[in-house]
Structure 1
Amino acid sequence: MAVSSSPIPQILSPLHMNIINSNNISGSSSLNLPLINASSKSSHRRPFIIVSSYKPRNGLVSDEKKEFLERYGLNPDDFSSEPSPKTRRRKGAEKTGRGNQVSPEEPKPPRTTHKLLQVLGGTARRKKLLSPKGMDVRPMMEVVKGAAFDILQVAGGCPAALRPGRWLDLYSGTGSVGIEAISRGCSEVHFVEMDPWVVSEVLRPNLIWTGFLDVSVIHTVRVEKFLERAEQLVGKDGAFDYISVTPPYMAVDYSVLMGQISQSAFVGEDTFVVVEYPLRTDMQDSCGCLVKIADRRFGRTHLAIYGPGWAQKKRKSDKSFRTVAEKVRLQVESEN
């Protein structure tokens, strides 16, 4: 095969290799393939890697992209993809308009009550009280309530009953604490509960059942708002003789709440404050002008009672008297 002496036109390929046009080579009409002449310059170059990245439309490859991929020996089918089932469902929902619809919320089950509580002492002793099912309202445990009233009666100087007075039941819920107070000798109780359903379906029926509705006042309001209006609500009767605080544990800040109570006009020099609080809660040793006279633990529940200084001294003297009486009794039994 003879090659003409005329200069041979060369074409630079994408791989930096010289492609000699076979049409300019004499006697090579039967060959349609180009002759490749690798130059010394291209022999030192690294081979190219052709990367094609694109997003197919409707899962099909356009003609231009298909031709481009075939030119470099790539299979266009490898770059086509079908939409995922999730994408097809989303697009179908957008077309039908179902994607913008909001499913209606399931109706909440009706709230119901049961009779698990009872009055522990006094004129309404052993009467059953209503309480809501579930954890919406958490009444004070009976063992805690019994201990609180025993301490108050001893501190007040009358172990058999409470000193007559007015009681403020904050976060009253079922009203079991305030009802216990009326049953044991209190003349009037103010109940503060923010849930209208609890007031109408639980608290008021309990007061009617025990016969204490006439000596009760119900305030359907948040405790924080009630304390802010203390100056207006205190009236001519002045401060309360007893205040019980039994809030939902996780819904209040005890330091803030006790600060509001201690600074309110509801607290006087002879007021007793009963506070139920959870484990790992720091309670102050005083509440305004009142001192802590008791702090008991019942599992995860704690009970703190604040009162005047004279009540603390009386409780200590009563305790020492009972200790002496117990020693005398043991001595008499040993002699016999």
Structure 2
Amino acid sequence: MAIPSPSIAYQFRVSIITTNLSSSSPNLPLFNVSSAPSRSRRPSSTIVFSYRESGNRAVSESKRKLLEQYGLNPDEFLSEPSPKTGRRKELRNTRKGAQVPTEKPKPPRTTHKLLQVLGGKARRMKLLSPKGMDVRPMMEVVKGAAFDILQAAGGCPVSLRPGRWLDLYSGTGSVGIEAISRGCSQVHFVEMDPWVVSDVLRPNLEWTGFLDLSVIHIVRVEKFLERAEQFVGKSGPFDYISVTPPYTAVDYSVLMHQISNSAFVGEDTFIVVEYPLGTDMMDSCGCLVKVTDRRFGRTHLAIYGPKWAQKKKRKSRNSETDSTIATQLFRS
């Protein structure tokens, strides 16, 4: 703001400098007014405020009076911008110059044929599986051991007892397809990934010719178990249940407790569970007992079944021991 004078007009530029003086300085603020002629035609004056932190009210009032004397608006010089306003301005400035990084499109998911059916009608038929680690199918050595144990426990080493199979976390469907191939009458597949269902599971069922014997549920396993009574209906509990979840995505204690209390489990049900090394697996699942628990590297395989299956297993072991002893005696 320009102030008239008899000869020239002065242009004021005010800078406020806060200093902490010694205790010997007076309580009132000190004002030093200096003017220096600029190179331009209009000289400029600078007002420097020097005060102590004590007596802030008196200092502010004195500053306001001094600014008013020179015809300046005190609110423009004494108002301090809030920290939030400063941060917003900084963000705006950075956003103006910065370019928003565009997300790279994810590569399309693809499949390959690495799995195969191990036994039964569709033996040696290749199955699709996703590339990468999105879906982790059960290893073939684990799957083969599981079905051998189930067939022996059911009293028929060649095939499974006829019945209905529930394949939880089915993924590629290799376990349920193996079950149909070995004698199961119907398999219910539970898989939550629509792409896996449309591009992997369903093509595998069509390729093996088992689509008519299959029921696909595109839902989370937890939700499916909560609605067990609705899905069971008049059919009753399942004869077989396979549990092959992604290791890090589930709590096995909660999952097994939910399965054991569901309407899917009956007195003659067999449950096949694949779990990682270091997991504490319970010795029983509801009314079922643990028939076997085997280790394959970092993978464990637990099978729960009725008590009569455990007795049959013991008898088969004793008969194998007797036959071995008889063979050794005969050779000697």
TM range (shorter): 0.7 to 0.9
Structure 1 residues 256 and 98: CA distance shift in structure 2, 3 A: same
Structure 2 length normalisation: TM-score?
0.72
Q: Match for residue 122 of structure 2?
A: 124
Q: 1:143 aligns with which of 129, 141, 144?
A: 141
Q: Secondary structure at the match of 1:97?
A: helix
Could you give the per-residue CA deviations for residues 148-180 of structure 1, whole angstroms, max 9, x where no partner exists?
000000101111110000000000000000000
Q: Match for residue 96 of structure 2?
A: 97
Could you give the per-residue CA deviations for residues 208-251 of structure 1, whole angstroms, max 9, x where no partner exists?
00000000000000000000000111011100000000000000
Letter in 2 for 1:250: T
Q: How far apart, CA to CA, are the structure 2 residues paired with 1:131 and 1:219?
A: 19
Q: Match for residue 194 of structure 1?
A: 192
Structure 2: gaps spanning 5 or more residues = 1-20, 23-44, 49-88
CA apart distance, 1:102? 3.0
Q: 2:106 aligns with which of 95, 108, 114?
A: 108
Letter in 1 for 2:294: R
Q: Match for residue 267 of structure 1?
A: 265
Number of equivalenced pairs:
255
CA apart distance, 1:277? 0.3
Q: Match for residue 277 of structure 2?
A: 279
Q: Match for residue 305 of structure 1?
A: 303
Letter in 1 for 2:150: L
Structure 1 residues 291 and 95: CA distance shift in structure 2, 3 A: closer
Q: Match for residue 26 of structure 1?
A: none
Q: 2:170 aligns with which of 169, 172, 180?
A: 172
CA apart distance, 1:185? 0.4
Letter in 1 for 2:272: V
Report 1:3-82 matches (<5 A).
none
Structure 1 length normalisation: TM-score?
0.72
Instruction: Let me know the Cα RMSD of the aligned residues.
Output: 2.4
Q: How far apart, CA to CA, are the structure 2 residues paired with 1:191 and 1:95?
A: 52
Letter in 2 for 1:238: G
CA apart distance, 1:97? 1.7
Q: How far apart, CA to CA, are the structure 2 residues paired with 1:167 and 1:139?
A: 17
CA apart distance, 1:91? 6.9
Q: Match for residue 316 of structure 1?
A: 314
Q: 1:331 aligns with which of 308, 313, 329?
A: 329
Could you give the per-residue CA deviations for residues 227-283 of structure 1, whole angstroms, max 9, x where no partner exists?
000011101110000000000000000000001000000000000000000011001
Q: How far apart, CA to CA, are the structure 1 residues paired with 2:212 and 2:304?
A: 29
Could you give the per-residue CA deviations for residues 103-144 of structure 1, whole angstroms, max 9, x where no partner exists?
221100000000000000001000000000000000000000
Q: How far apart, CA to CA, are the structure 1 residues paired with 2:125 and 2:238?
A: 26
Q: How far apart, CA to CA, are the structure 1 residues paired with 2:199 and 2:94?
A: 49
State which structure, 1 or 2, has the greater radius of gyration over its C-alpha atoms: 1
Letter in 1 for 2:225: L
Letter in 1 for 2:158: A
Q: How far apart, CA to CA, are the structure 2 residues paired with 1:168 and 1:96?
A: 54
Divergent runs of 4+, >6 A: 62-65, 90-93
Structure 1 residues 92 and 291: CA distance shift in structure 2, 3 A: closer
Q: How far apart, CA to CA, are the structure 1 residues paired with 2:314 and 2:95?
A: 79
Letter in 2 for 1:299: G
Letter in 2 for 1:193: E
Q: Match for residue 38 of structure 1?
A: none
Q: 2:158 aligns with which of 157, 160, 170?
A: 160
Q: Secondary structure at the match of 2:205?
A: helix
Report 1:247-262 matches (<5 A).
247-262=245-260
